[in-house]
Chains A and B, each alone.
Chain A
């Protein structure tokens, strides 16, 4: 199981949003606002996780690459490893 950055990122984010949406709601104290707060946490977790997931999955297998100007290519040749 090669710990590629993709796998690490996937597990960290899933864990994070899973915590926010699935675990913390159980610890919200009982009060008149409990329902609203729990709804907010769950929906935030779902929305943000989905959005991040779409962003990372769309770049997983790119069909084409970026078009760069020759100056940029020359600069990146030396400055990005």
Chain B
């Protein structure tokens, strides 16, 4: 069964299984990925459902797993990837996993807390250590100051000597000498120091000695504390009572104060004890980190497995929430949508699931008839899923209507290629696509949105590239240059004497000359066999010819594409057995389109095939306009005899189709309804239940009244849309011309202004310049012509498919089949 042309036939199946086997059965179905569960409790909110607690538990476990993973990433522990398909645990395993997770989380949090505290302590000790080391000089200086008994106030404010040592004296012991100095020492952030100094100045009016020094940043210090720079400072002041003030100021600036002993001996002792304390702390920190690493490594082995288990359990509980739980809690009823062709597989899976759970009762499958619309399921493989995705992006097909995806596989890359049309660029695109296809798995690891899109569309890009090579060969355009494989059909020699009008002097006089095809020999009579003649690439009126060619080509391709779309609607009518619609809708539409636009194509082809004198050749556009306006003045030239009569006939036929489309179908529906109404009336006297029929009739009448108006309006909209749409959609296809022109011109600009400049340099530096210019040419080609133009042509080809092609036959009002599938669940998470 060619399943991609139409969505699969689905059936609604009721499942009955026991509560014990529920987990295993649903997990088997999840591995299969072929059934979609229907929500049997649509009125229940999320909180009223039966298994909402379990779902919450699973979410909590997911949160813990995420926290664990973050910690692992922070400590650079590799998470092992597990590949086996493990069994889904039942309810008791849920509890076990939950307790494991909670324990792990608590342990980890405690370790982190301890680590932080230890680190803080280490920082303090380091500060004290640097304080002690740096205070020696300052104390010596202070002692010398004291022996000289000079007031230290004047030179105290800002004196930074390169090797500073600060120290602090004990507040209670004053030094020998007349001045009673006490000191305060501590550590402050370097950026706050100037303001700190100013405040102290204002406070003590300069009556103090302040020394400060930057703590040398060792590596360890940086690792522990970070890049914050701190200064050690010491303040000598007179008197003890001011210490409170200083303490408050220091608190305000968040400087940490440390006590420092007065005598050298005590300071040395303190320094030693600080050293030993630091060593101890360092060892403890190391041990803590090792322990943490150990815990995380052990957890890392299982974290992926746990993750997938939790996800599967959550999915199973979510599915159980959709089912109907029997009052006695023994039976679970579920309704699933399932493809008819896969019923046997589903049954086997259920039997396997119930066997695994050890239940004796096999689940019962009961197929039920329903009026509801089933979901749309298109079975795709790796190649076709890209194309199906771009169709579904516009609208998922109505159940069992024809699927445009198989046709899109070819027509979409073809229309792209018509707009892209350069075999050099097409070749680059094809090679890129081949590379992506071969590296698809390893490229998926990047997990970037853009790369995901490119990987998903790799087959589309491959086909687009291949078709672009073909259309590029026909446009005879390769990086804006043409190939001359078969020999041009145009010859210059016959234009000269004695055959033609030119002399040697003509060449000197005129800068540009036009070849005349009516001069015998200039045009050989046989066109270039494959594509556009290479002479046009070097002609300056290339665009005149190409524009005419491409516009007519766009119209021909567009009308063919739309006729194809209309034909697909016939297939839909046949499938859904709406034979009436074939004559009321398909045939009038076809006649309308063929008589107007089919005739236009005929005119184009006829004008190409006959020989005309160029002065009297009529323009097809004017012919078409005059045909619609019934304008047949004698001076207008016609292409063939009998054209006037035929054209009038065709236009009248087309105009006649419009009321057929507009009125006949609603009229027929109205007539059938009147007939049924008469039948109801006719049976009424014979009927015993008179009132019933009358009430049902009036009810029916109300339905009818609403529906008739709806039907007429809908038909009117459809008719107007189709008829006006024919014209606008045909014109819309002219974008095929427009984009291919833009691409060709951009390509030519890049050649002429970038690469040709490099090739024309005659000096010795030319080769170097050429390297640079070629690099620029390559970069610009890839970014502007391949990426930008590629995206643009992609978008326009997509629009042509979505609007102009699909509005001839596609309804697109279905909903997608979303089966319970563990594979897709785990894939989306990764």
- A-side residues, CB < 8 A to B, are 4-6, 8-9, 32-36, 39-40, 43-44, 47-48, 50-52, 54-70, 72-74, 76-77, 80-81
Complex Cα–Cα for A73 and B513 (A): 8
A-B contact pairs, 20 of them (CB 8 A): A5-B526, A36-B2, A40-B406, A40-B410, A43-B411, A44-B414, A54-B553, A58-B548, A63-B614, A65-B514, A65-B515, A67-B515, A67-B539, A68-B512, A68-B513, A68-B535, A69-B540, A70-B513, A73-B495, A80-B488
Nearest CB in chain A to that of B515: its residue: A65
Whether A59 pairs with B527 at a CB distance below 8 angstroms is yes
Contacts of B488 on A, CB cut-off 8 Å? 80
Whether a CB of chain A sits under 8 angstroms from the CB of B605 is yes
Whether B526 pairs with A70 at a CB distance below 8 angstroms is no
Contacts of B414 on A, CB cut-off 8 Å? 43-44, 47-48, 51
Whether a CB of chain A sits under 8 angstroms from the CB of B612 is yes
Since A39-B406, A39-B410 are in contact, a sample of 4 more A-B pairs with Cβ atoms closer than 8 Å, ordered by chain A residue number, is A6-B529, A51-B418, A61-B610, A70-B510
Q: How far does the Cβ of B422 sit from chain A's closest Cβ, in whole Å?
A: 15
Interface residues of B in 596-623 (CB under 8 A from A): 605, 608-612, 614, 617
Complex Cα–Cα for A20 and B549 (A): 26
Whether B536 pairs with A9 at a CB distance below 8 angstroms is no
Contact partner, A68, options B3, B529, B538, B611, Cβ 8 Å? B538
Whether a CB of chain A sits under 8 angstroms from the CB of B440 is no
Whether A55 pairs with B515 at a CB distance below 8 angstroms is no
Complex Cα–Cα for A67 and B406 (A): 45
Interface residues of B in 488-519 (CB under 8 A from A): 488-493, 495-496, 507-508, 510-517
Whether B539 pairs with A66 at a CB distance below 8 angstroms is yes
Whether B514 pairs with A64 at a CB distance below 8 angstroms is yes
Complex Cα–Cα for A43 and B609 (A): 25
Q: How far does the Cβ of B341 sit from chain A's closest Cβ, in whole Å?
A: 11
Contact partner, A76, options B492, B516, B530, Cβ 8 Å? B492
Nearest CB in chain B to that of A51: its residue: B474
Q: How far does the Cβ of B483 sit from chain A's closest Cβ, in whole Å?
A: 14
Q: A6-B526, A61-B608 are in contact. Are A52 and B474 (CB under 8 A)?
A: yes
Whether a CB of chain A sits under 8 angstroms from the CB of B5 is yes
Nearest CB in chain B to that of A41: its residue: B410
Contacts of B411 on A, CB cut-off 8 Å? 43, 47
Contact partner, B474, options A5, A32, A55, A80, Cβ 8 Å? A55
Complex Cα–Cα for A70 and B514 (A): 10
Whether A36 pairs with B492 at a CB distance below 8 angstroms is no
Whether B557 pairs with A50 at a CB distance below 8 angstroms is yes
Contacts of A44 on B, CB cut-off 8 Å? 410, 414
Contacts of A63 on B, CB cut-off 8 Å? 517, 612, 614, 617
Whether a CB of chain A sits under 8 angstroms from the CB of B297 is no
Contacts of A35 on B, CB cut-off 8 Å? 2-5, 406
Contact partner, A5, options B517, B529, B548, B556, Cβ 8 Å? B529
Complex Cα–Cα for A43 and B489 (A): 31
Complex Cα–Cα for A59 and B608 (A): 8
Q: How far does the Cβ of A53 sit from chain B's closest Cβ, in whole Å?
A: 9
Q: Flag B127-139 by CB within 8 Å of A: 1 or 0 each.
A: 0000000000000
Complex Cα–Cα for A73 and B491 (A): 10
Contact partner, A72, options B418, B493, B538, Cβ 8 Å? B538
Whether B614 pairs with A36 at a CB distance below 8 angstroms is no
Whether a CB of chain A sits under 8 angstroms from the CB of B407 is yes
Nearest CB in chain B to that of A74: its residue: B507
Whether a CB of chain A sits under 8 angstroms from the CB of B167 is no
Complex Cα–Cα for A8 and B529 (A): 9
Contacts of A43 on B, CB cut-off 8 Å? 407, 409-411, 414
Whether B474 pairs with A68 at a CB distance below 8 angstroms is no
| A-B interface, 10 closest residue pairs, ranked by CB to CB distance from nearest | A35-B2, A66-B539, A65-B515, A59-B527, A9-B529, A43-B410, A63-B614, A67-B541, A6-B526, A5-B526
Whether A54 pairs with B552 at a CB distance below 8 angstroms is yes
Q: How far does the Cβ of A55 sit from chain B's closest Cβ, in whole Å?
A: 5
Contacts of A6 on B, CB cut-off 8 Å? 525-527, 529
Nearest CB in chain B to that of A9: its residue: B529
Nearest CB in chain A to that of B466: its residue: A44
Complex Cα–Cα for A8 and B548 (A): 26
Nearest CB in chain A to that of B611: its residue: A61
Whether A39 pairs with B511 at a CB distance below 8 angstroms is no
Q: How far does the Cβ of B547 sit from chain A's closest Cβ, in whole Å?
A: 11
Nearest CB in chain A to that of B553: its residue: A54
Q: Chain A CB within 10 Å — which of B414, B489, B548 has the most?
A: B414
Q: Chain B CB within 10 Å — which of A40, A47, A59, A65 has the most?
A: A65
Contacts of A54 on B, CB cut-off 8 Å? 549, 552-553, 556-557
Whether a CB of chain A sits under 8 angstroms from the CB of B528 is yes
Nearest CB in chain B to that of A38: its residue: B2
Contacts of B536 on A, CB cut-off 8 Å? 66
Q: How far does the Cβ of B494 sit from chain A's closest Cβ, in whole Å?
A: 11
Whether B608 pairs with A58 at a CB distance below 8 angstroms is yes
Nearest CB in chain A to that of B608: its residue: A57
Contacts of B548 on A, CB cut-off 8 Å? 58
Q: How far does the Cβ of B555 sit from chain A's closest Cβ, in whole Å?
A: 10
Nearest CB in chain A to that of B549: its residue: A58
Q: How far does the Cβ of A16 sit from chain B's closest Cβ, in whole Å?
A: 11
Whether B540 pairs with A68 at a CB distance below 8 angstroms is yes
Q: A36-B2, A50-B557 are in contact. Are A59 and B489 (CB under 8 A)?
A: yes
Complex Cα–Cα for A54 and B527 (A): 12
Complex Cα–Cα for A8 and B545 (A): 25
Q: How far does the Cβ of A64 sit from chain B's closest Cβ, in whole Å?
A: 6
Whether a CB of chain A sits under 8 angstroms from the CB of B567 is no
Whether A70 pairs with B5 at a CB distance below 8 angstroms is no
Contacts of A73 on B, CB cut-off 8 Å? 492, 495, 507, 513
Whether A68 pairs with B608 at a CB distance below 8 angstroms is no
Contacts of B471 on A, CB cut-off 8 Å? 51
Contacts of B557 on A, CB cut-off 8 Å? 50-51, 54
Nearest CB in chain A to that of B539: its residue: A66
Complex Cα–Cα for A69 and B11 (A): 72
Whether A77 pairs with B532 at a CB distance below 8 angstroms is no
Complex Cα–Cα for A35 and B6 (A): 11
Whether A60 pairs with B530 at a CB distance below 8 angstroms is no
Complex Cα–Cα for A39 and B383 (A): 14
Complex Cα–Cα for A39 and B2 (A): 11
Contact partner, B512, options A5, A33, A47, A67, Cβ 8 Å? A67
Complex Cα–Cα for A11 and B526 (A): 14
Nearest CB in chain B to that of A54: its residue: B553
Complex Cα–Cα for A18 and B511 (A): 47
Whether A50 pairs with B614 at a CB distance below 8 angstroms is no
Complex Cα–Cα for A57 and B528 (A): 10
Whether B470 pairs with A48 at a CB distance below 8 angstroms is yes
Complex Cα–Cα for A7 and B535 (A): 21
Whether a CB of chain A sits under 8 angstroms from the CB of B522 is yes
Whether a CB of chain A sits under 8 angstroms from the CB of B783 is no
Complex Cα–Cα for A53 and B361 (A): 68
Nearest CB in chain A to that of B381: its residue: A33
Contacts of B3 on A, CB cut-off 8 Å? 32, 35
Q: How far does the Cβ of B167 sit from chain A's closest Cβ, in whole Å?
A: 87
Complex Cα–Cα for A56 and B553 (A): 11
Complex Cα–Cα for A54 and B609 (A): 11
Complex Cα–Cα for A37 and B612 (A): 43
Complex Cα–Cα for A44 and B466 (A): 11
Whether a CB of chain A sits under 8 angstroms from the CB of B573 is no
Contact partner, B530, options A39, A52, A70, A81, Cβ 8 Å? A52
Whether A57 pairs with B609 at a CB distance below 8 angstroms is yes
Complex Cα–Cα for A58 and B528 (A): 11
Complex Cα–Cα for A5 and B544 (A): 26
Contacts of A32 on B, CB cut-off 8 Å? 3
Whether a CB of chain A sits under 8 angstroms from the CB of B37 is no
Complex Cα–Cα for A57 and B548 (A): 13
